Chain A
Amino acid sequence: MVSSENRRKLLDISGEDVTSCYQCGKCSAGCAMAAMMDLLPHQVIRLVQLGQVEEALASRTIWLCASCLACSARCPRGVSLPNVMESLRVTLLRLGGRHLDPVRLPADVLENAPEQALVAGLRKYT
């Protein structure tokens, strides 16, 4: 009951039905950020399938997904995993949280990073 409710909320945000994932792991195998992640991408999907959303929300992984879409391009089940990652991020952000404080960005990043990085990062992290 609780599990399906959690899943439904994420489905409304992401538009992605995670129940079609059969855990082949292709997303994790090709993920450029996987080495830095605490949970691998397919493990995040598994948690969402099971409605164990709290554990997924606490993961570093959702902030390390760079939305590059390599996983969704290769998914044999047509799941857009980056949409699911975004639904987890915005679940926290819409509660008023923010993952990144722009005034705490290092001076060299503020000075040298392209505007595109700042705009995209603030869109994803605040």
Chain B
Amino acid sequence: MGYSYFPGCTLRAKARGFESSALASARVLGIHLEELANWQCCGATFPLQVDNSFPLVSPARTLASARRMGERLVTLCSACYNVLKRTNHVMRTDADRRDKVNAFIEEDYRGDLEVVHFLEVLRDDLGFDALARSVKVPLSGLAAAPYYGCLLLRPADELAFDDPEAPHILEDFLSALGCRVVDHPYKIECCGSYVALEPGELASGPSRMVVESARARGARVIVTSCPLCQYNLDVSQQGAHGRNGAGVPVIYFTQLLAIALGLPEDVLGFEGHVISPGPLLRSIGAMGSEATA
């Protein structure tokens, strides 16, 4: 299984553990991810203004360069997935905007590439049954709450990732690793996203609702594929909200994957968490006592 691969800005800075756990897992599972030779930030948010195509330039350039390497481009970060796939949709279906962008980037790219999320590779190409057979350290009984947020699911007609109101790919993934899946009503709600930059912790309201909805149903860990969700949900537990062991660590799905595959702890890259995942993972025997978290 070979794909071109787009890491994106955050996985090379604040979310290194997301990438290192994913790449190590992919190697073990026989999934070959070849990093694009020339990539740049996707822009982190898809532009919602139809009279300005300039924000499409950067993602379109990445797509054109990926097309020269093959037909499928893999991403890990939910935001990269959303922006690249939506830009690809524009390049495929909107001749006017496609011509404008192509003229600017001096390409003739027509959207004939498939943007896929790493979860889709695990589900559709490897298969969750095969994944379950590769598990060396079953996470038996770990009560894990999936958290999708927005960027993987919406808009559903363009992303076609999963059922937008009742998704189950993360549930199926967690089951394959041996987790006990904790369903909760806020799993597809927004965490507040970039409103985190607004003064006064405005984004922490929605984030606390998400964490509480998972915690109240017994979740001991929340699993995401978005660095901004990870940050918002984690930071919302600062102070009283996360004290007395009531905090719920928020980690990337690939970090649980690497643990279940029995990979060395140095690929996990747990850093800077408000609620450290270390104690939980040590308590279930998923990490040794010398863990870095």
Mark A residues whose CB is within 8 Å of B. 12-15, 32-33, 35-36, 63-64, 66-70, 72-73, 80, 82-83, 85-87, 90, 100, 105-106, 109, 112-121, 123-125
Choose from A64, A73, A115, A116 the contact partner of B164 (Cβ within 8 Å): A73
CB contacts (< 8 Å) of A72 on chain B: these are 154-155
Asked if B205 and A35 sit within 8 Å, CB to CB, the answer is yes
Choose from A66, A116, A120 the contact partner of B190 (Cβ within 8 Å): A66
Q: How distant is the Cα of A72 from the Cα of B150 in the complex, in angstroms?
A: 12
- Min Cβ gap B10→A in Å is 4
- Min Cβ gap B209→A in Å is 8
Asked if A116 and B79 sit within 8 Å, CB to CB, the answer is yes
- Given the interface pairs A112-B231, A119-B9, the reply to whether A86 lies near B190 with Cβ below 8 Å is no
Asked if B154 and A123 sit within 8 Å, CB to CB, the answer is no
Asked if A73 and B155 sit within 8 Å, CB to CB, the answer is yes
Asked if A116 and B227 sit within 8 Å, CB to CB, the answer is yes
Asked if A33 and B48 sit within 8 Å, CB to CB, the answer is no
Asked if B154 and A69 sit within 8 Å, CB to CB, the answer is yes
Q: Which residues of B1-51 are within 8 A (CB) of A? A: 8-10, 13-15, 41, 43-51
Given A86-B48, A115-B9, output 14 extra A-B contacts at Cβ < 8 Å.
A13-B49, A15-B50, A32-B209, A33-B190, A64-B198, A67-B45, A69-B154, A70-B188, A70-B189, A82-B48, A86-B49, A112-B235, A114-B228, A115-B10
Answer whether residue B272 sits at the interface, using C-beta atoms and an 8 A cutoff.
Answer: yes
CB contacts (< 8 Å) of A36 on chain B: these are 202, 205
- Min Cβ gap B11→A in Å is 9
Query: Can you sample 28 A-B contacts with CB below 8 Å?
Result: A15-B50, A32-B192, A32-B206, A33-B195, A64-B195, A64-B202, A66-B195, A69-B155, A73-B156, A83-B50, A86-B47, A90-B49, A113-B14, A114-B13, A114-B14, A114-B15, A114-B230, A115-B9, A115-B41, A116-B8, A116-B77, A117-B196, A119-B45, A120-B44, A120-B45, A120-B228, A121-B194, A121-B196
Closest to B50 in A: A15
Asked if B189 and A123 sit within 8 Å, CB to CB, the answer is no
Closest to A16 in B: B50
The 10 closest A-B pairs by CB, nearest first: A68-B190, A15-B50, A121-B197, A119-B44, A86-B48, A68-B150, A66-B193, A69-B154, A121-B194, A120-B44
Q: How distant is the Cα of A33 from the Cα of B207 in the complex, in angstroms?
A: 10
- Given the interface pairs A68-B154, A69-B150, A116-B77, the reply to whether A125 lies near B231 with Cβ below 8 Å is no
Which of B45, B190, B197 neighbours the largest number of chain A CB atoms within 10 Å of its CB? B197
- Min Cβ gap B20→A in Å is 16
Q: How distant is the Cα of A110 from the Cα of B227 in the complex, in angstroms?
A: 15
Q: How distant is the Cα of A113 from the Cα of B193 in the complex, in angstroms?
A: 11
Asked if B195 and A116 sit within 8 Å, CB to CB, the answer is no
- Min Cβ gap B128→A in Å is 26
Asked if A109 and B196 sit within 8 Å, CB to CB, the answer is yes
Q: Which residues of B136-189 are within 8 A (CB) of A? A: 149-150, 154-156, 164-165, 188-189
Answer whether residue B55 sits at the interface, using C-beta atoms and an 8 A cutoff.
Answer: yes
Q: How distant is the Cα of A109 from the Cα of B235 in the complex, in angstroms?
A: 10
CB contacts (< 8 Å) of A123 on chain B: these are 43-45, 47, 55
Closest to B231 in A: A114
CB contacts (< 8 Å) of A117 on chain B: these are 44, 193-194, 196-197, 228, 231
Choose from A87, A114, A125 the contact partner of B10 (Cβ within 8 Å): A114
CB contacts (< 8 Å) of A115 on chain B: these are 9-10, 13-14, 41, 44, 227
Asked if A87 and B231 sit within 8 Å, CB to CB, the answer is no
Q: How distant is the Cα of A73 from the Cα of B49 in the complex, in angstroms?
A: 18
Q: How distant is the Cα of A63 from the Cα of B228 in the complex, in angstroms?
A: 18
